[in-house]
Structure 1
Amino acid sequence: MTANTIEKTPVTLLGLGAMGTALARTWLAAGHPLTVWNRTPASAEALAPEGAKVADTAAEAVAASTLVIVCLLDDASVETALDGVDLTGKDLVNLTTTTPAQARTRAAWAEERGARYLDGGIMAVPPMVGIPEAGGYVFYSGSRELFELHRESLAVPVNTTYVGEDAGFAALHDVALLSAMYGMFAGASHAFALIREEDIDPVAFAPLLGDWIRAMVGPGVDGTARRLASGDHDDTDSNLAMQVAGTPTFLATAEGQGVSPELVLPYFELMRRGLEANSAGQEATSLVDLLVRKG
């Protein structure tokens, strides 16, 4: 064991799916002593030649390090893996995708068992791990003190972004961003469907679509945030009345192209509801409050 390795924080990692394995390899490459456990041993044993210590049980893995990283399928998997495991004095960092409510419950659960807790939301796919220029990062929420203590070690695989003491905030940020991503994918899928049966090369069309989305999303997101903060939704340039008036054209085009409107109809319906509920001069950002269920 080299002097460089001795200086690095020991890490325990539970869960070696595609993401867990990518995380493991970056900590090993950076010289962190790493203990791994996986429900199916083969994934853990594959890392042994790279320097990982393979634990036979989750309890054995947890006992090996103060810093324990969990990257499993879901919250129920975390419950099962750590059932009966002594967490006293451990710093538990949960990178499992969960809901904000599950993260808050898991934080209380960990603290009751004598552990400090951080929740994480991974904004990356496995090929981005260990490549800083790829732009991946992890949202962290929970104990600020714990985050600062382990910031350097946590930043080895991907960058870190701390979003608050509320343990549910990492999961909330994660799901919010991914929800926006799926909305954009829906719009892009509809656009490609419109041209699918025409003599239009999708490869040539793609940069037009990508450039348009980038041009609209950046300013649109910033503008939405400012309007939500100020409460001023008036817009003389692109108000709800104008946008709702244009929706028959989009629906007629979809019908003419033989394309289902199912991906755009929900938003068009929301715009119609927003126009009925608000001033015709208001901008589409007013729809955000229409989505929030009161009471």
Structure 2
Amino acid sequence: MTATTEGAGRVTVLGLGAMGSAIARTFLDRGHPTTVWNRTAAKAAPLAEAGATAAATAAEAVAAAPLVVVCLLDGAAVEEVLASVGTAIEGKVLVNLTSGSPAQARATERWAAEHGAGYLDGKLMGDPPYIGTDNILIPVSGSGDAWAAHETTLKELGGVAYHGADAGAAAVEFNAQVAMGYEMLIGFLHVLKLVRAEGGDVAAFGERLAGSVAAYPPLLTAMAKAVANGDYPPDLGPLRVQAALMDDLIAHRETAGVESVRMRQVKDLMDRRIADGHGEEGFSGLFELLGKD
């Protein structure tokens, strides 16, 4: 990759695991003078050979650039490293790309403010080889001034999108997207179990289902709008009709010896919603029952 940013600004990267190293190398390739630091100094050697400056301490690395990108194992590691940088962070913009909760992001923002630094929190939705391409999504949130100052640089890392001034917003986006994946995939494994229990070809079924899933995006956007508006049209048909179908799905699973807890939970929500007088509404109306009692 060749440099694409003439006179690109200086950047520091703290943490040189697979993702941190990919971030640092991308900045180098795009023409940014890059300082790197890692607890295990040997991990900096390949980047130093490529032109990066390897700092002896985290504080030294932070002092070297106005933009400091942190990518470590977890929030505890971030706290430990930041505690070691002292006053070097003052006047800098700290961008934390470490996985963590919205609460952790807001706490780190408070720490940055107390130490005179701007703060952006970001989350990496993709693998190290995709850094620098549109195949990785990176939600970012926090200081609007920090974003305005470094948007161009940060967008060199991939599909970066700003989610507003709340430092926790990027983590909300990340956690929700990842949770959706797990919810979908555990459901997929359940139906594969059902297909196999009935003697079906799970590989062939998977191919057919992949085609069916392509029809879901319009439904997802419609359901999200229904939730936003508080108006729940019969998206999959009236709940009173869907509830009858759920009985068939539960019976099928139990007859085939496949776990049915999730289906029973959905049926329970449907029954409760119907009992409350919403039997003509759609599946999206179950949203109203998902908060804490």
Q: Distance in 1 between matches of 2:247 and 2:92?
A: 59
What SS does the aligned partner of 1:196 have?
A: helix
Task: Report the TM-score, using the length of structure 1 for normalisation.
Answer: 0.89
Matched residue, 2:291: 292
Q: Give 1:84 shift.
A: 3.7
Q: Distance in 2 between matches of 1:221 and 1:261?
A: 24
Deviates most, 166-175 or 202-211: 202-211
In the TM superposition, what are the counterparts of 1:61-100 in structure 2 within 5 Å? 61-85=61-85, 86=87, 87-100=89-102
Deviates most, 237-246 or 143-152: 237-246
Matched residue, 1:228: 227
Q: Give 1:213 shift.
A: 2.0
Q: Distance in 2 between matches of 1:143 and 1:57?
A: 26
Q: Distance in 2 between matches of 1:45 and 1:269?
A: 58
What SS does the aligned partner of 1:97 have?
A: coil
CA gap of 1:21–1:292, structure 2 versus 1, over 3 A, is same
Tell whether the 8 Å contact from 1:187 to 1:264 is kept in structure 2 after alignment: no
Q: C-alpha deviations, 1:198-240, integer Å up to 9, x for none?
A: 5544332222111222312x12211112212322114285122
Q: Give 1:33 shift.
A: 1.4
Q: Give 1:122 shift.
A: 1.8
Asked if residue 36 in structure 1 is aligned to residue 40 in structure 2, the reply is: no
Aligned pair count reads 290
Report the RMSD for the aligned CA atoms in angstroms: 2.3
Question: What one-letter code is carried by the residue in structure 1 that aligns with 2:218?
Answer: P
Q: Distance in 2 between matches of 1:42 and 1:202?
A: 46
Matched residue, 1:24: 24
Q: C-alpha deviations, 1:64-118, integer Å up to 9, x for none?
A: 1110001112222111011041211110011111211221121111011010011
Question: What one-letter code is carried by the residue in structure 1 that aligns with 2:118?
Answer: R
Question: What one-letter code is carried by the residue in structure 1 that aligns with 2:193?
Answer: A
Matched residue, 2:178: 178
Q: Distance in 2 between matches of 1:267 and 1:127?
A: 39
Tell whether the 8 Å contact from 1:15 to 1:72 is kept in structure 2 after alignment: yes
Deviates most, 160-169 or 31-40: 31-40
Matched residue, 1:141: 141
Q: Give 1:36 shift.
A: 1.4
Tell whether the 8 Å contact from 1:118 to 1:147 is kept in structure 2 after alignment: yes
Unaligned runs of 5+ in 1: none
What percentage of residue pairs aligned between the two structures are identical?
42
Q: Give 1:271 shift.
A: 3.1
